Amino acid sequence: MKILIACEYSGTVTKAFQDKGHKAYSCDLLPSDRNDIKHFECDVEQLINTVDFDMMVAFPPCTHLAVSGARWFKDKQVEQKQAIEFFMNLTNADIPKIAIENPIGIMSTRYRKPDQIVQPFQFGDPYKKTTCLWLKGLPKLKPTNIVEPKIITYKDGSKFSADYGWSSNKNRSKTYQGIADAMAEQWG
């Protein structure tokens, strides 16, 4: 199968599909973190309109879509409109199988509710990161290895996933290996 992994610079999902024997290609404006995958450093919208893919797994930027940034929405209306249009362009791509990943955000009301919400701890990685999946032509992912998430409780009583405090936004945006492997195994 010929698979596009859109908006992925880490190569995690791309490599998981390649390891299952698929022709998987990542595409992002950023260079890839890996040298062992095929990566297009370009605007993904150019690629989806010129190459025939059997499947696309897309990770559009969530900066202007996620509820975690809601307090800034009023100051970012133009950026948010562009982010919504980009999300919808990916959704409407002429590709038979599509999965679009994003955190909980405004796309649940601007587009539709996600088909599924998954957590890394359902796939063997002991962290919490609520991840929404909008699916076209693909089944919901089945958990592969449910583990107890590692939670840190701060002095003020707030609780966060153990990886949250030390992760940069770039690291936090990467897909955990367990979810990547489940995508490749169950969708490939």
The residue ranges of every structural domain in the chain are: 2-187
Architecture of the domain made up of 2-187: 3-Layer(aba) Sandwich (3.40)
pLDDT digits over 119-145, tens only?
999 999 999 999 999 999 999 999 999
| Strand ranges, E, within 42-127 | 55-58, 97-102, 116-118
Nearest-angstrom CA–CA distance, 187 and 137: 10
Judged against a pLDDT cut of 90, whether residue 153 lies above it is answered with: no
pTM of the model: 0.91
Q: What is the mean pLDDT of residues 105-126?
A: 96
Strand order in the sheet with 23-28: 38-41, 23-28, 2-6, 55-58, 97-102, 131-136, 116-118
